[in-house]
Amino acid sequence: MLADLHSHTHYSDGTLSPQALLARARERQVDWLAITDHDSTDALHLLRECPPAQETPRLIAGVELSTLWEGHEIHIVGLGFDIDHPGLQALLLRQQTLRRERMQAMDMNLQKAGHCGLMDYLNTLPCTSLSRNHVADFLIARGIVKSKDQAFKRFLGDRGRIASAAHWCSIGEAVDTLHAAGGLAVMAHPTRYRVGRMQFRRLLGEFAQSGGDGLEVSYSNLDPARMQHLATLCLEYGFWASTGSDFHHPGNQWMDVGRFRHLPGELAERAIWLHPGWPGCSL
Ligand code: AMP
Ligand code: MN
Ligand code: MN
Ligand code: MN
């Protein structure tokens, strides 16, 4: 079973349209695909209006919510919810507004540094959920930085020159809203947060206390030893195990659709697609 339960389209910071992402997943023999744009379900609404002709991969509703926990941006992936749920859509709209406001703050900071035109550039994009990734593209296009890495280190990261914090929802609100919409809540890429060992355990404990259902255990660029460690933690905290590439664009061969390790054997019975709340049919 190949379940890629974390991927992005051009409605957030990916580069492919929903149809092109589906075609790529089909080529790469993905059985289940969740499109999990940042704080947006627009790709899913589009695919529901214009359903793909082929039956594979099977599509499950997805979203990646940004939350704030002890000053860190923690990403919670929602799966299998009702995409029309009013409470969820209200939260997404609020988060998208925060994203636009953060871009305006970054634009002001960039103007002070002598670089104009960010908002004009952003307004040409198809996305509904603006992200720092788009600002990185703008900085590269303008020749201000050479790479994404440089853009995040010098400008966009926590200590970057134009960094601007956003007041994302709490983990508790993200989990409650996903549950109210009939979905499951999964912590995305747990090894990518800059927290110490004890703080990480506290994070997992609080996520479990809040009713969090799952943990991403296998994803792109995760080495086997760390995956094994996550598998142990997943069992210890009683989470279900999820898998996903976090695919954004075809140029990054290490983060391609379906490109991650199978779950380790001890999690065979804890795969999130075996959860009683997993939807019985496609989107
Ligand atoms: P935002 O959603 O605006 O907080 O932007 C976060 C997005 O930027 C993530 O989802 C990644 O796609 C991307 N990102 C974050 N850090 C880096 C980095 N160091 N290098 C490249 N992309 C990054
Ligand atoms: Mn992203
Ligand atoms: Mn993320
Ligand atoms: Mn992601």
> Considering its fold, how many domains does the chain have in total?
2
Phi, psi of 205 (to 5 degrees): -60, -45
pLDDT at 158: 87
Tens-place pLDDT, residues 54-72: 999 999 999 999 999 999 9
What confidence tens digit (pLDDT) does each residue in 144-201 have? 999 999 999 999 998 899 998 899 999 999 999 999 999 999 999 999 999 999 999 9
Dist CA 137 CA 12 (whole Å): 13
Pair 81, 185 in one domain? yes
Task: Judge whether 280 lies within some domain.
Answer: no
8 with 138, same domain? Answer: no
Pocket probe for ligand 1: among 13, 100, 158, 247, the residue whose CB has the most ligand atoms within 8 Å is 13
- Find where tokens 């954004």 sit: 248
Contact criterion met (CB below 8 Å) for 26 and 54: yes
Q: Give the model's pLDDT for residue 281.
A: 80
Does residue 238 belong to any structural domain of this protein? no
Q: Is residue 268, in this structure, part of any structural domain at all?
A: yes
| 66 and 29 within one domain | yes
Looking at residue 165, its pLDDT comes to 84
On whether the CB atoms of residues 170 and 114 are closer than 8 A, the answer is: no
CA of 64 to the centre of ligand 3 (A): 7
Q: Do 59 and 185 fall into the same domain? A: yes
**pLDDT of 283:** 84
The pTM of this model reads: 0.98
Structure tokens at 178: 């996903």
Are 30 and 101 part of one and the same domain?
A: no
Assess contact for 246 and 9: CB atoms under 8 A. Answer: no
pLDDT at 256: 98
Same domain, 150 and 261: no
Residue 122's contacts (CB-CB under 8 Å, 6 or more residues apart) are: 103, 130, 134, 138
- Residue 258, domain CATH: 3.20.20.140
Q: Which residues line ligand 1 (CB under 6 A)?
A: 13, 38, 66, 73, 131-133, 148-149, 152, 248
Atom of ligand 1 nearest to the CA of 133: 8
Tokens representing 108 are: 């002001």
The CATH number given to whatever domain includes residue 102 is: 1.10.150
All residue ranges of the chain with pLDDT < 70 are: none
- The residue segments making up the domain with residue 20 are 3-86+170-200+212-228+244-274
